[in-house]
Amino acid sequence: MTLQAQIRDKLMVAFAPERLEVINESHHHAGHQPDFNGTGETHMRVRIVSSAFAGLGRVARHRSVNDLLKPELDAGLHALAVETAAPGEHTRW
Any idea which fold 3-85 has?
GMP Synthetase; Chain A, domain 3 (3.30.300)
Q: Give 12 or 38, the one with higher predicted confidence.
A: 12
SS3 87: coil
Query: What are the residue boundaries of the structural domains of the chain, listed by start?
Result: 3-85
pLDDT band at 90 (very low <50, low <70, confident <90, very high): very high
How many C-beta atoms lie closer than 10 Å to residue 65's C-beta?
23
pLDDT tens-place string over residues 25-74 = 875 544 455 564 545 668 899 999 999 999 999 999 999 999 999 999 99
